[in-house]
Structure 1
């Protein structure tokens, strides 16, 4: 017999449509108001709509076994059921409303009163719902969609090692040093001994020198301003690493470095046929037809940060000058909406996905499975700056890709720390 009953909020099912199978042999209860909210989302042509349709089909399939309001056994051993919200509840009086959130809390309280021998827990990704619930019932966040727990550190891609001067001398003379421990492939190490230092990358038990980037070189007119940027360029220029992830706060140069590297390898060296740049500000799957103008005009406001970086790289004075320059690059640079990436195969291109922290895990997978032969894809973003209502620093698509792919030889990651936009930008990124 189950010891707990988990009452699921709508946002849990919209974030993870398989959430009903994530609570072991404990019982699951879905308030009927949640079913109504799911129904209102089914027509959306984005990730939320897809998940609403998926969980609706799952629930309908369960009906083949019996009536949901009477309870149906799940493959996990628990019982799933639905329940109407009470018409009169102290919750409505306390908050002076009968909104859907209040109805879900009221339903949870009613279930607790009916099951005094069990622990009833409301699971919601909405912080304020959990805060309000604390007055009446136990409330928890949904953690199964998180790649990391809040106690885990994000993978940075680099380790700072204090070593002896002899180790650094051996590293420079023999071009390798036995690693003190095992790291993921393409992991970086910064060796330090007083004023002596060396940059290394991990390979097969050894720390070896960087091989793609000379400190004095410029990458399409710019050079690294700090050690982490130099390591980022190492990954961006390495054609043996087709998947690169860069996480950083605003102003650290992550997008600028990606664009500069893509232009050098595509425009100058001809390693790739085209550059495709996009951002998930326009939700994947949702048309941009509600904005006025042609597609380029619609995309311009969303993609302005990309144009700002290109303006800097091309040393333009204004948008008009940039537009004139881009006309000569129209066969090379494509700035596109993620809306149209599903179903495509993208070979021989350098692909940049900016603001990747606003991707869901499913969207990240959709994008990466479009990458064709000879292509390179770079995901950049700030996991601490989430705009998506159902994501956080531990469950977003960028964090998901970083953690799941860090042990693969074809992937590399680096976290940028120091802001280079301006002292003001760095200060604001740190303390605001």
Structure 2
């Protein structure tokens, strides 16, 4: 038995011995002092690693589930082809293409002789074929039109029922959440492809926690869900082709087409035939992401959005969070798709801040 009262004596008086973390640290110190072999303290808890380092104990992060952001799969690539192949893609509606490409990878076909002559499509790995993107309606999706090529790629996967898991990674202002909500509302309220749009996000504060909040569950969650409410209100404020205002937020909720809730209550649920959006997924651990994805019932589509550079969870970082973990693990699966959004569209100020600060 490793744990003894003698081990606790090795801790400084400032560290409370009743805390589990400190007891683990005490055992590690005991092993270091009594064994000839080097002892390495491995933990994902940053604070505990700092304590270990202060006590002269070598400490390392658990790295087996880490994914380097520099090497993270982007979901898109350019392919140099002949001008005839670009023309054939437009005329035939597909292009057979051999190569080492991932399922549902978004490809830009570039004429090697004339770089301005291009076409865009999505790679279908089973057929080794590039297919055209799912078209966006002329009026857009709830008033939202793709503003760049990456957003076109994102809309394609968000509207494709065969792609059951979509991951959107991008810095602040690239349109991740807005695109997902617009596509989700279109597929539920307009197309009736799914029974409900379920939107959720983890609860992690930016800065100091406000503490106790009064009211019922809905009132307590309102501050955390406000970013989602803002995007929904923006979409609902748009008008359709006939000049009529779209359905109101409360009407969609009352009809059962829209539900917004915290991830706290998702464990144990089975979610069939729904369009599930999880915002700020970079704040989730790989285990939490697994819990969410395994909730998906028959006919459910899951969309994970987030920015790995904006993390509020102290137990994950840009390379060990659940979002980047899923991107890497699912990149070879036919039912999954990913795109990294790079161009900010919120404002010039927001894009500069995301790049410079």
TM-score by length of 1: 0.70
Secondary structure of the 1:119 match is coil
Q: How does 1:139-158 map to 2 (within 5 A)?
A: 139-144=59-64, 146-148=65-67, 150=68, 153-158=71-76
Of residues 338, 346, 357, the one that matches 1:413 is 338
Offset at residue 128 of structure 1 (A): 5.4
- When residues 308 and 151 of structure 1 are mapped into structure 2, their CA distance, relative to the original with a 3 A threshold, is closer
1:33 aligned residue? none
Mapping for residues 266-281 of structure 1, pairs under 5 Å: 266-281=188-203
> Which residue matches 1:181?
99
Q: How many Å separate the matches in 1 of 2:44 and 2:269?
A: 33
Residues in 1 aligned to 2:47 and 2:28: alpha-carbon distance in whole angstroms: 16
- After TM superposition, give the deviation of residue 212 of structure 1 in Å: 1.4
Shift of 1:229: 0.6
Cα deviation digits, residues 385-407 of structure 1 (max 9, x gap): 22222222233222232222222
Deviation for aligned residue 1:302: 0.6
After superposing the two structures, state which structure 1 stretch, 250-259 or 351-360, moved more.
Answer: 351-360
- The 3 A distance-change label for structure 1 pair 98 and 263 is closer
Q: Say what the alpha-carbon RMSD is for the aligned residues.
A: 2.9
Mapped pair 1:431 → 2:356: yes
Which residue matches 1:327? 250
Please, which runs of 5 or more residues in structure 2 have no aligned partner? 206-210, 239-244
SS in 2 for 1:266: helix
Residue number in structure 1 paired with 2:262: 337
2:44 counterpart residue number: 125
Q: Which residue matches 2:149?
A: 227
Match of 1:190 in 2: 108
For structure 1, the residue ranges without an aligned partner over 5 or more in a row are 1-68, 70-80, 284-288, 317-321
Q: CA deviation at 1:126?
A: 3.8
2:40 match: secondary structure: strand
1:165 aligns with 2:80: no
1:392 equivalent in alignment to 2:327:
no
Instruction: Summarize deviations over 1:142-196 as a string: whole Å, max 9, x none.
Output: 123x152x48611221112233434323333343334352322111111234212
- Distance verdict in 2 for CA 1:107–1:239, change over 3 Å: closer
Structure with larger RCO (C-alpha < 8 A, sep 6+): 2
SS in 1 for 2:305: strand
1:202 alignment counterpart = 123
Structure 1 counterpart SS, 2:282? helix
Q: How many residues align?
A: 335
Q: Deviations over 1:264-298 (max 9, x none)?
A: 11111222222111111179xxxxx9531122211
Once residues 314 and 136 of structure 2 are traced to their aligned partners in structure 1, the CA distance between those partners, rounded to angstroms, is 42
Q: Report the alpha carbon displacement of residue 325 of structure 1 after superposing the two structures with TM.
A: 2.4
Conservation of the 8 A alpha-carbon contact between 2:3 and 2:27:
no
- The Cα shift of 1:355 comes to 1.0
> What corresponds to 1:256 in structure 2?
178
Structure 1 pair 338/87, CA: closer, same or farther in 2 (3 Å)? closer
Compared with structure 1, are the counterparts of its residues 151 and 157 closer, same or farther at alpha carbon in structure 2 (3 Å cutoff)? closer
Structure 1 counterpart of 2:58:
138
Q: 1:282 to 1:122 in 2, by over 3 A?
A: closer
1:292 and 2:214 aligned: yes
Cα 1:389–1:292, aligned 2, differ >3 Å: closer, same or farther? Answer: same
